[in-house]
A and B are shown apart, each in its own frame.
Chain A
């Protein structure tokens, strides 16, 4: 699973969070003996993928599946427990902050909530200035002003409003400003974590159009994290479906939506409310998503899967190429019984 042309390649990424707290929290009484237990949330378990330049990789999954952790780990906001991240063949997960700096400039992030991601005490101008003065120390203030005006124009916010504060803007305009902030340093790769989830439908369309335009104009590569499958279907080139910290299926968008292979993908897709199609039959899954603290053995999905057998309960399925770039991690698909 190595792609030489990938802009970003992730190999066997693992990220666990220790949530056991202090020593006293870890101790418990079991059969009259004091035992010490650590609790870890296994957010990412052996995730491998690559992203081609100028494509949009959609990452979908339900809450708690690790999609946001993946986004943050890729950008180096969380150090991974193990695994490797390559940016154009250069390994970046083990760099010190100083050496990571040039890569931070190339990789930017857009967050979900434009009310929380903009500093309420900074004007738009200050917000947009900060990344550029940080990454380009020698730039003249004249050039910064020009850049701010140019980017604001591009994202559709009137440049003369640069002196205003975030509270003076609506949600959609704030999200435009967050996008402007990401674009200020001319990045190549943008991770967008639920960029339109907090917005109304008509505004959502405006922001998605803006993201698609910016991609076309600047040749950007996106990793789009979202739970909204219709957004993913519309915008992405390829889609990765995550469940409990693993990728269960990765395929070109068209193929994934037309013929999902993994039983979880099938259930997920059948649950999308389709406009005008009443009483669409959806696949009901058994039970609930297990906690990532206590992962099921074998395939993490086997407890809820309609087709699971004994092998599924024991052996962890690997992502296997099914031709034309699609990959499925399912014993059933591998054994050709699905």
Chain B
């Protein structure tokens, strides 16, 4: 049946003076109700742009140049802004990296939360405050009544990010897109926020797209993983398959480059070179100049994301059988 979210051949371009840059080049994936998907990749891979494109929040000069985003069976990438606003922040919420940047420093938590509820629901201010209180309790904020009257600077980093999560929950969304939600936080707080997100997804049947560069975090929270490189998904599959039996040479390299998977003190496995900039993406497979198994065909043809015989996940690589 229909998926909660379906991204079809999504292509995002940035129209710059020097020409058009393709930030995302044909991304396809689906997400079911209550499913948790991780999008991993290094900076510049297009993970965040994918997130922004889904909720149509790309700022100029970026725009969706091709493809569709279907949410609950409805195409949302061509909706007029007014219609889109009914979905964004309501049915689909977003959590960003830095809670200090996402909260308004001159408004109390209460004002910010009530404002969001009133924007999407036909309730009185008192009812909206009750909803805010309930959500703060849900994210385990101690003495939520007192917190409501405070300003963001009075809360610690972990508390702020929890408030951001509570704000995302205000309208009972069907999907949360979390873009590096714990990158700015310490490990102990990161673990708490991740537990919280997972718990909420399970209890409320919420879908989650977790965008992060941290394979460790993704592997603990999500059910499926999509690995992005230079604007494309190069591998997608169950978390188990991608982490324990990676197929794409880039995924393999990434996992091996992590300290902790090797004998301490030994040389880390490094992927030579770096991610190409969007202005000069190599022809053929974008990864071929850094790849240790590439052949002639890799330089000529762009590999398609396909199921392979030897692996469970879908892989975009000519060399993987």
Contacts and interface: CB of A to CB of B under 8 A. Distances in A.
B289 to A, nearest CB: 13
A122 interface: no
Nearest to A272: B187
A253 interface: yes
B284 to A, nearest CB: 20
B219 A276 contact: yes
A235 B265 contact: yes
A274 B259 contact: no
Given A200-B42, A201-B257, A284-B192, A271 B244 contact: no
A271 B190 contact: yes
A204 B257 contact: yes
A326 to B, nearest CB: 16
Given A253-B264, A288-B156, A202 B271 contact: yes
B268 A234 contact: yes
B93 to A, nearest CB: 23
Interface stretch (B121-129, B172-180, B208-216, B307-315): B208-216
Interface string A244-255: 000000000110
Nearest to B45: A200
Nearest to B215: A275
Interface in A207-225: 208-209, 212
A201 B215 contact: yes
Q: How large is the interface on A (under 10, 10 to 19, 20 to 34, 35 or more residues)?
A: 35 or more
Contacts of A231: 259
Nearest to A282: B191
Interface string B189-231: 1111011000000000000000001111101100000000000
Nearest to A237: B265
A121 interface: no
A212 B265 contact: yes
Contacts of B145: none
Interface string B211-255: 001111101100000000000000000011001100000000111
A234 B192 CA distance: 25
A227 interface: yes
Interface residues of B, number: 44
Contact of B188 (A203, A277, A285): A285
Contacts of B106: none
Interface in B255-276: 255, 257-262, 264-265, 267-271, 274-275
B188 A279 contact: no
A268 B43 contact: no
B103 interface: no
Contacts of A202: 42, 253-254, 257, 270-271, 274
A237 B260 CA distance: 15
B158 interface: yes
A245 B244 CA distance: 39
Nearest to A276: B243
B268 A230 contact: no
Residue of B188, B213, B253, B254 most packed against chain A (CB within 10 A): B188
Contacts of A270: 191
Contacts of A253: 264
A285 B158 CA distance: 13
A267 interface: yes
Contact of A62 (B159, B187, B214, B258): B187
A268 B240 CA distance: 25
Given A227-B187, A268-B188, A277 B220 contact: yes
Given A227-B187, A274-B216, A274-B220, 5 more contacts: A209-B267, A253-B264, A273-B214, A273-B220, A274-B260
